[in-house]
Amino acid sequence: MKTKIVFSEKCLEYGSWHIEGPERVRRAHDILKEKGYEFLAPEPVAEEDILRVHDADYVQRLEEGLIVDADTPAYENIYEYARLAVGGAVLAAKVGGFSLMRPPGHHAGRSGFALGVRTRGFCYLNNIAIAIKIVNKPALILDIDGHHGNGTQEIFLGDENVTYVGLHRFPHYPGTGYSSETNCLNYPLRANCGDDVYLKTLDQALSRVDVDNVEVVAVSAGFDSHAGDLASLGLTEKGFREIGKRIASLNKHTFFVLEGGYSGENMGKDIDKLLEGFEL
């Protein structure tokens, strides 16, 4: 059975000039629609659920449009767009789907900034972290974005209920994730390392996870690790298909939340291949 895609056209309404703009998601949506995926519409998450993860002062400033950095502008109504993106992650968690929503989330820490990094990397609320807090079951977060999920690590560092595994390019933005710490297992990789090195590293990473004590797998699904993208690790469509197969082998309730990936054409094809591998 095909994985359901969570999507709302409202996430295309802002930031047309930005590299993290609507075209990347619009093109991916069109490709997945052509492939015959079923789409579900999310609802905005409740603020009380956001406060499970983020500081109240930060949420208030975001709602009032007072959160600004060079990467992460204070778009009009950005708090509502961010709430809807979190709602996408929550719905994906419920149905075992793929949330094709923006803005992304894995760089957003409790107060926006995380692990000493003074930009939010296009992220406002940590979509996957809030979804995991709502699910409230022992979880593995697998972050395959080409950038380290410093916000997600900050939120869950030392949490006995969650294991975070990140494979990412280093040195590269945000400059974190160069070593593992307690429940956060980090695997820095060289630029353009390619499918074989990546998959060997992924196998090593998953072998360190106590899968018997995991009930939910949440995938921070970034595609900027595709060859030539913003955080290229030299991955191909074939590589993403193999990643999907490895995730499926864990045999757990699984959901996916979009992070990076800045070529809509490649991203749509990579999502399809990731899910194809997962559904085998």
**What strand order describes the sheet that includes 216-221?**
39-40, 5-6, 98-99, 253-258, 216-221, 139-143, 162-169, 184-189
Q: In this structure, what token pair is assigned to residue 205?
A: 């990473």
Nearest to 272 by CA among 37, 7, 6, 8: 37
Q: How many CA atoms lie within 13 A of 12 on its CB side?
A: 13
Are the C-beta atoms of 105 and 124 separated by less than 8 Å? yes
Angle between helices 22-34 and 264-279 (to 10 degrees): 40
Q: Facing residues of 201 across strands?
A: none
Q: In this structure, what token pair is assigned to residue 261?
A: 């990936």
Q: Which residues are catalytic?
A: 107
